[in-house]
């Protein structure tokens, strides 16, 4: 239709606008300004289904040819957003999902009729040629096989109709707010911040006028500053401490209370969230306050961004919990292994069941792992052959936590227990069995799709072999006799009754099993507890929880695997109960790390506005200045080595230009922690007191 207009843009063509061009132009404007009109379906004509999938949505268009079989008329549009799970599907799987969903959506139009599917994903052309496809894809193909259709590949450039329905909307351009600089401070503001503190104002006065007995105070900070007074100087009404560097002397601004959080926020939160050493190096070269090492350490330990990303130097490792069984089938463990290669019989998984007392194993091949199939196999292949166990222990698989499986265990009077999330160690016995069976099967089979033929051979071999924990084979403990092996028929004994145990031997053997099982568990617990590192928390404390699979905290190498902090509501070692999103949840303590409470640096009940006395401009007083007050040109020439502020003889220009036009910085408040009490420190320790072992950064 637009061909006549396009010709006007060709080379060496005279641009001459005619009535025909105007009519075409008006038609194009009409089509651009009006949505396509949907048409009623004509069930006498063939339907066309266009589908497409993007990274976050799928779309489909159902259409038919018009009366002249020239243009396509739309019958219906459809699209939806993919769930977070579906967004992680492969490209082929997402494209197949778009077809399956579209077929269900347009089922009344397409079922029982031959139609054509068009897609821009070429591998789907061979959809009907796939063999031995199981799992989710197999179930999808079962749904698709109900329809009579043909698939045709269409290049993406010609598939824009369905493609546009699955594309992401244009991102909104957000308007940035005006940014005003709040740092560095002007010289007057630096003095004002120091003069807000009553103790520091008094100390500056005493530093200039000399200390006397009337200056005694209960403030530990005052006494700390008094002990290091030879390293303190006043310049332009601002108290500094001299810091010696390789390039010369440098002034460090003396900070107290209300500015500490602002300084730490600037040098840690806004400087890449580096660890204690790098942060402390940046702080100590610019500022000074008593116990600054402890405060920097606390700030880094309590930083939520760091806690959610960083792993502890030493993970929590609670002591092993020992549970002894005293007879067969008292307590069993269940687990599912797979997916394995699909066999000719259609099996893909293994349901492993093992007795805690005898270590006897039962394995069942499975086609699928739905709750219905697992529950049915448990009853038919185990419960009706070996009896009902007293306790069943499983992991957190949906097959075992389903309402159906819970109902079955309740009806049979079975106590159901399970592992905590992300802690399979409590189901370690059957996990070790899975490893042994897979190793044995891989050596027995010639073709990987025949593993179910040798599964029972591998299981029988395991059961008739001596177990390290009991000293006997699981078969002996279960059936109270020695097993008959194929080789025994070649070397037939005169009396085969020697294999059977009498009552006295049974009692002796069972006592031996209990004794060796207990000794084995004690040995394992001793080895495991060598590196024990218990989590020291109490109720109402807060912890971070390790949860590597969480879409809300990033993915892959940029993920933040620690969630929280969460409050501890109950403790039953090695389990602790956390309040997560308003619900109580039991987790293993090995998944937790302690959350440190951040100190508060706001003054208690004091007005944060500047409190400047009439005589706070100490340099203008008529009294004589002591030697340790710096002259304005202190840093403009080399100092002798015997100067009060000793250090390197190298000179450095220190420029304190007035910046009165800069706005006062907004105060940064870390929030609701109690003020950490100030303490005195050793004069020889220039950086603050030594940090306690439990507060140090690993």
Tens-place pLDDT, residues 164-183? 666 655 445 555 655 555 55
Please give the span between the terminal C-alpha atoms of the chain, in angstroms, as a whole number.
73
Is there a single domain that holds both residue 434 and residue 338?
Answer: yes
The whole-angstrom separation of Cα 188 and Cα 658 is 8
Opening angle at CA 297, ends 294 and 298, nearest 5: 85
Residue ending a domain, among 487, 518, 549, is: 518
Q: pLDDT class for 688, splitting at 50, 70, 90? A: very low
Taking the C-alpha atoms of residue 57 and residue 552, their distance in angstroms, rounded to an integer, is 19
Residue 46, domain CATH: 3.30.420.10
User: Can you read off the two tokens belonging to residue 499?
Assistant: 């294999």
Using CB atoms within 10 Å of the CB of residue 307, give its burial: 0 to 12 exposed, 13 to 18 middle, 19+ buried. buried
Are 347 and 298 contained in the same domain?
Answer: no
User: What percentage of residues in the chain have a pLDDT greater than 70?
Assistant: 75
291 found inside a domain: yes
Clarify whether residues 499 and 352 are in a common domain. Answer: yes
pLDDT at position 671 is 40
Cα 76 from Cα 96, distance rounded (Å): 20
Last residue of a domain, which of 309, 344, 363?
309
Cβ-contact 166, 65 below 8 angstroms = no
Does 530 reside within a domain?
Answer: no
Residues in Cβ contact with 595 at an 8 Å cutoff, skipping those fewer than 6 apart: 302, 307, 541, 542, 543, 544, 564, 565
Contacts of 306 (CB under 8 A, 6+ apart): 273, 300
Please give the full DSSP string across 522-538, using - where no structure is assigned: HHHHHHHGGG-B-----
pLDDT tens by residue, 355-404: 999 999 999 999 989 999 999 999 999 999 999 999 999 988 889 999 99
Mean pLDDT, to the nearest integer, of 661-670? 42
Whether 103 and 198 map to the same domain: the answer is no
Assess whether 422 and 496 both reside in one domain.
Answer: yes
Long-range pairs for 679-684 at CB < 8 Å and ≥24 separation? 679/220, 679/290, 679/291, 680/220, 680/223, 680/224, 680/227, 680/290, 681/224, 681/290, 681/291, 683/227, 683/228
pLDDT (tens digit per residue) in 562-603: 888 888 988 888 888 888 888 888 888 888 888 888 887 765
The answer to whether residue 689 sits within a structural domain is no
**Residues 417 and 502 reside in one and the same domain:** yes
Residue 549: CATH number of its domain: 2.30.30
Its domain, for residue 510, covers: 331-518
- CA separation for the pair 516, 34 (Å, rounded): 84
Q: Report if residue 524 sits inside a domain.
A: no
Q: What Cα–Cα distance (Å) separates residue 607 from each residue in 197, 217, 602, 611, 664?
A: 10, 21, 10, 8, 16
CATH number, domain of 294, equals 1.10.340.70
146/104 Cα distance (integer angstroms):
11
Number of folded domains in the chain? 4
The answer on 507 and 359 residing in a single domain is yes
Please indicate whether residue 619 or residue 689 has the higher confidence score (pLDDT). Answer: 619
């Amino acid at each position: 239709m637009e061909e006549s207009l396009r010709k006007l843009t060709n080379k060496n063509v005279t641009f001459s606008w005619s009535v025909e061009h105007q009519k075409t132009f008006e038609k194009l404007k009409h089509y651009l300004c009006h949505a396509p009109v949907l048409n009623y379906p004509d069930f006498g004509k063939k339907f066309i289904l266009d589908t497409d999938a993007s990274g976050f949505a799928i779309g489909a268009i159902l259409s038919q040819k018009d009366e002249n079989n020239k243009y396509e008329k739309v019958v219906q549009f459809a699209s939806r957003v993919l769930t977070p799970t579906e967004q992680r599907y492969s490209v082929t799987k997402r494209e197949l999902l778009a077809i399956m969903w579209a077929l269900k959506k347009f089922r009344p139009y397409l079922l029982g009729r031959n139609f054509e599917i068009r897609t821009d994903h070429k591998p789907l052309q061979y959809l009907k040629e796939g063999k031995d496809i199981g799992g989710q894809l197999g179930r999808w193909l079962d749904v698709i096989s109900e329809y009579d259709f043909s698939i045709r590949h269409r290049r993406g450039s010609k598939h824009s109709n369905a493609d546009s329905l699955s594309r992401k909307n244009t991102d909104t351009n957000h308007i940035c707010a005006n940014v005003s600089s709040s740092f560095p401070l002007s010289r007057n503001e630096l003095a004002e911040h120091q003069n807000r503190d009553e103790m520091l104002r008094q100390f500056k006065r005493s530093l200039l006028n000399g200390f006397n007995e009337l200056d005694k105070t209960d403030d530990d900070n005052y006494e700390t500053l008094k002990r290091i007074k030879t390293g303190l100087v006043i310049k332009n009404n601002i108290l500094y401490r001299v810091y010696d560097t390789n390039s010369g002397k440098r002034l460090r601004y003396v900070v107290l209370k209300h500015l500490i959080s602002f300084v730490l926020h600037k040098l840690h939160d806004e400087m890449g969230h580096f660890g204690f050493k790098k942060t402390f190096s940046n702080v100590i070269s610019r500022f000074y306050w008593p116990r600054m090492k402890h405060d920097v350490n606390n700030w880094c330990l309590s930083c939520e961004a760091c806690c959610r990303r960083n792993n502890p130097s030493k993970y929590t490792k609670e002591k092993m919990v020992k549970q002894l069984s005293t007879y067969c089938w008292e307590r069993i463990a269940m687990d599912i292994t797979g997916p394995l290669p699909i066999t000719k019989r259609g099996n893909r998984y293994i349901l492993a069941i093992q007795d805690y007392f005898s270590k006897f194993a039962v394995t069942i091949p499975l086609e699928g792992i739905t709750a219905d199939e697992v529950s049915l196999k448990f009853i038919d292949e185990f419960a009706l052959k070996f009896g009902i166990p007293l306790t069943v222990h499983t992991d957190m698989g949906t097959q075992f936590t389903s309402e159906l499986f819970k109902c079955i265990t309740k009806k049979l009077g079975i106590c159901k227990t399970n592992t905590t999330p992300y802690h399979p160690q409590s189901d370690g016995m059957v996990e070790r069995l899975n490893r042994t069976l897979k190793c044995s099967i891989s050596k027995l089979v010639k073709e990987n799709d025949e593993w179910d033929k040798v599964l029972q051979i591998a299981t029988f071999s395991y059961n008739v072999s001596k177990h390290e924990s009991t000293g006997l084979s699981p078969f002996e403990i279960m059936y109270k006799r020695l097993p008959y092996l194929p080789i025994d028929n070649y070397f037939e004994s005169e009396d085969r009754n020697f294999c059977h145990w009498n009552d006295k031997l049974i009692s002796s053997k069972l006592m031996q099993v209990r004794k060796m099982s207990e000794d084995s568990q004690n040995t394992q617990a001793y080895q495991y507890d060598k590196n024990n590192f218990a989590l020291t928390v109490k109720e109402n404390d807060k912890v971070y929880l390790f949860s590597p699979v969480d879409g809300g905290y990033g993915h892959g190498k940029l993920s933040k695997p620690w969630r929280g902090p969460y409050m501890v509501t109950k403790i039953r070692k090695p389990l602790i109960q956390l309040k997560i999103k308003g619900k109580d949840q039991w987790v293993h303590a090995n998944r937790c790390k302690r959350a440190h409470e951040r100190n508060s640096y706001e003054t208690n009940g004091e007005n944060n506005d500047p409190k400047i006395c009439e005589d706070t401009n100490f340099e203008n007083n008529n009294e004589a200045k002591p030697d340790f007050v710096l002259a304005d040109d202190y840093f403009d020439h080399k100092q002798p080595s015997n100067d009060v502020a000793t250090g390197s003889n190298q000179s450095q220009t220190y420029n304190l230009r007035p910046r009165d036009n800069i706005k006062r910085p907004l105060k940064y408040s870390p929030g609701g922690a109690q003020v950490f009490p100030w303490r005195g420190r050793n004069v020889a320790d220039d950086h603050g007191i030594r940090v306690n072992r439990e507060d140090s950064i690993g």
